[in-house]
Amino acid sequence: MMQWPLGWSIDLHPADGIYSSLPGCNQWHSKGVYQIPYRCYVSHDIQNLFYAGRIISATHVAFGSTRVMATSALGGQAVGMAVAICLENDIKPIDLWEKGRIKSFQNRLNQTGQAIPVLPIDKQNDLAKYAKITTSSTCKVVELPFDGPWPSLKTPTAQILPMEMGSHHKFTFQLRAEVSTDITCELRVSSKTKNFTPDIVLKQLNFSLEEGEQWIDVDFKIKMPETQYAFITFLKNGKVWIRGSQRRMTGILSVFNKQNKAVSNFGKQDPPSDIGIESFEFWTPERRPAGYNLGMKIVPPLEPYNVSNVINGFVRPYRTSNAWVANPEDPDPCLSLKWEKAHKIKKMRIHFDTDFDHPLESSLLGHLESVVPFVVRNYRVTNHSDTIISSKDGNFQSINMIEFDEPVETNNLKLYFDHPSKDVPAAVFEICCFS
């Protein structure tokens, strides 16, 4: 009965209000996202009544997290979808779970942008699932070019990379030291493969640096225990800088062990032992246009962008990138779907990357960018004779729905994408085709 994942902290205010002797606000964070049960949005006593927003059924403690704007908005979207399903099927709200329709409900939320990480889109009626998919190129992460700024390691810094179980990679970094000093590098992972909290140190290495610029080769000499995101972590040393990269790629992100006291982030959370909240460090991204990735060479290359990702049902990073990404050097990236026989295709749906990794802790902070740098803005679709049957210029949406006036009968579709920029290669999360 669980629906969509959310991740705001437990932002508690005393039940006694201004008359309380307790602090005015007490915030505790979870290591990962949580889910709100559908039943919290359905009235217990009135058969045709939904709740949404801040008035859902929740305890005082749970309300400390569910009441915020983004969470309320997602709940409102889910309730809207539930209402539509009830009207379509002439059923009551309670029937959505009592008659086993909850999976269909979740699937429709996924299709329209809720992007539930733990649940893939149901592909049973999707023709793309049955196509042979090939590409003009697929990105192998050989290098994040050493062409960015030099962030200081006065703040502990880590690079998040999607890595496969059993893989072993060597990394090369460029550092600059003010004086002769030592630096510590760690390979970390999350204790839960679906989380992004580097709470387990798999291996630690120490390096002696000379004054000036130099290269270091980092080889942890261990294999990844699971398929999940790994954190290549550099601990604090205010006398050292590390070279960044202008290259930005879907599912790859730098994070920093910084403080943000406005949201009770003091670098590490140490709650009382008896309240059921975990102790852990905060590693968070920088808001763009800052937050450059770390420049690095990787041997052997990372290969997280297999074309099969476009039909795996996941439309956001989850344990791995879940995206196909073209080679940045490919002048005209193309993805082809070919069937053994012709099909009549009436609709297509393409899920692009509008940057699920970007920190959006508050809409009130505003954005320095007018365009999300990851999203594919220009593309075209051709049939078996290379006739253009659809095209788009100036796209800024995650989900593009293409509906043809008349069904297109073909055994081969080709999709051509422009790279968003010289530093960001074209990426696609999911492609769906329907008759």
Q: How many domains does the chain have?
A: 3
In a domain, 82, yes or no: yes
**61-105 tens-digit pLDDT:** 888 888 888 888 889 999 999 999 999 999 999 999 888 889 999
Query: Alpha-carbon distance 124 to 128, whole Å?
Result: 10
In a domain, 121, yes or no: no
Please check whether residue 375 is in contact with residue 352, taking contact to mean a CB–CB distance below 8 angstroms.
Answer: yes
In a domain, 368, yes or no: yes
In a domain, 122, yes or no: no
The domain boundary, picked from 274, 301, 328, lies at 301
pLDDT at site 4: 43
Of 139, 140, 138, 145, residue with least CA distance to 297 = 145
277/361 same-domain check:
no
278/325 same-domain check:
no
- Which structure tokens are listed for 263? 């949201």
16/62 same-domain check:
yes
Please check whether residue 327 is in contact with residue 425, taking contact to mean a CB–CB distance below 8 angstroms.
Answer: yes
Alpha-carbon distances of 229 from 44, 162, 233, rounded to whole Å: 41, 4, 12
In a domain, 118, yes or no: no
Query: Alpha-carbon distance 152 to 281, whole Å?
Result: 19
What is the DSSP annotation of 73-121?
HHHHHHHHHHHHHHHHHT--TTHHHHTT-HHHHHHHHHHTT---TTSPP
Q: What is the mean pLDDT of residues 365-382?
A: 88
387/425 same-domain check:
yes
Q: What is the mean pLDDT of residues 394-401?
A: 95
In a domain, 85, yes or no: yes
Q: Which domain holds residue 260?
A: 141-301
225/178 same-domain check:
yes
> The domain that contains 201 carries what CATH number?
2.60.120
pLDDT at site 1: 34
Whole-prediction pTM: 0.92
380/253 same-domain check:
no
**338-358 tens-digit pLDDT:** 999 999 999 999 999 988 777
pLDDT at site 6: 56
In a domain, 116, yes or no: no
In a domain, 87, yes or no: yes
**274-318 tens-digit pLDDT:** 888 888 898 988 888 888 999 999 999 999 999 999 999 999 888
**224-267 tens-digit pLDDT:** 999 999 999 999 999 999 999 999 999 999 999 988 776 667 88
**What one-character DSSP code corresponds to residue 272?**
-
323/428 same-domain check:
yes
* Choice among 27-36, 133-142, 390-399 with the minimum mean pLDDT: 27-36
258/167 same-domain check:
yes
293/309 same-domain check:
no
Dihedral sign of CA atoms 172, 209, 221, 204 in order: negative
Higher pLDDT, 25 or 93: 93
Please check whether residue 229 is in contact with residue 163, taking contact to mean a CB–CB distance below 8 angstroms.
Answer: yes
339/289 same-domain check:
no
Of 338, 304, 299, 331, residue with least CA distance to 318 = 304
369/379 same-domain check:
yes
Mean pLDDT of the chain: 91
325/184 same-domain check:
no
